[in-house]
Amino acid sequence: MNQPNLLKNKRILVTGGGGFLGWAVVQRLLEKGALVCSFSRRSYPLLAAAGVDQVQGDIGDPEAVAAACRGVDTVFHIAAKAGVWGCASDFHRTNVVGTRNVIAACTAGSVETLVYTSSPSVVFDGKDMEGVDESVPYPDRYPAPYPQTKAQAEREVVTAAGTGLKTIVLRPHLIWGPGDNHLVPRIIGRARHLRRVGDGRNLVDTVYIDNAADAHILAAEVLKTRPELSGRKYFISQGEPMPLWEMINAILEAAGLPPVRKSISLRTARRLGGVMEILYRFLRLENEPPMTRFVAEELATSHWFDIGAARRDLGYRPVVSTAEGLLRLARWLDPSRSKGSKIKT
């Protein structure tokens, strides 16, 4: 029996609709027959070609956000400042102030539902996290502005659920796939200088772009039929934990590059990261250091999460396996690659 299409002909706003995840969500919404609008700093040709209305503005400007939210049924708040380095005030303006503006605009504009894209880094404490669920607490301290500001914004979205706005928080972990403009290019760009940090046995789960987009659509639909789930948080991943460095090497293989063979200890990487952080701050360098303490800890520890709640409440199923996703990634990176090629996982 076909499920009812709850988003058809609904006017839906996607903040950051021209980004990697934003565009994937926009495509799903268009397939559902939704009337999609994107809010971003600039105009995107791919959105224009798809017939998506585009509103240009700064997420930190409350009036611009309020105007974009008028007459909207549902908002997917995906826009964010990501990264492991940068000015704390910039992260705060985009991630915290921007989210406050979205919440206020939703409330003032009688928006029915808000799906907020968070990150598992909001609970990362620098230690192994293996199979933890959404009950794991926020840490007392954060090693970088990104997780700190995303955690603050996440809290405010959860609080907003108590004021009548129906909200769900999603925590997709390390999104990758064709069209990726962050994780995959970062790995490929640093391939020659990558060093395995730690013993290489740390398990990490990721999420393929199509699965991450599916989770967002499911969250919006569920909020329309099960309002009691408002204010909940959900980890989203492949549900297939694997050694982090095997995954990195698989992405390198998809790009036709050799695997990472050299390694350094976590202790050495953390010390190196600390020195580089001091040096880059002293010299006021804007570029990201080759290593930070936050990155060292992420590369050496296990971080994978129990997605049972998303399976149970949202009906989430990672349709595209990691192996299939890697094949699709390889074909995107090199369209001439044979469909029959194999990527080891």
Which residues are marked as active site? 146
Residue where the block lists tokens 């199509």: 210
Query: How far, in Å, CA of 147 to CA of 85, rounded?
Result: 11
E-state strands within the chain = 11-15, 35-40, 53-56, 74-77, 113-117, 129-132, 166-172, 175-176, 196-197, 203-204, 207-208, 232-236, 242-243, 263-264, 303-305
Query: How far, in Å, CA of 40 to CA of 37, rounded?
Result: 10
Residue 52 CB burial class (10 angstroms; 0-12, 13-18, ≥19): buried
Residue 75 CA, chain-centre distance (Å), reads 16
Residue 37, beta-bridge partner list: 13, 53
Query: How far, in Å, CA of 139 to CA of 157, rounded?
Result: 18
Residue 305, beta-bridge partner list: 132
Which 8-state DSSP code applies to residue 205? -
What is the distance between the terminal CA atoms of the chain, rounded to a whole angstrom?
Answer: 35
Which tokens go with 322?
């990691």
Q: DSSP letter string over 68-105?
A: HHTT-SEEEE------SSS-HHHHIIIIIIHHHHHHHH
CA nearest to 85, candidates 267, 237, 219, 284? 284
Which tokens go with 291?
């290593």
Query: How far, in Å, CA of 7 to CA of 142, rounded?
Result: 37
- Beta carbons of 321 and 345 less than 8 angstroms apart: no
Return the amino acid letter for 343.
Answer: I
Which tokens go with 27?
């495509």
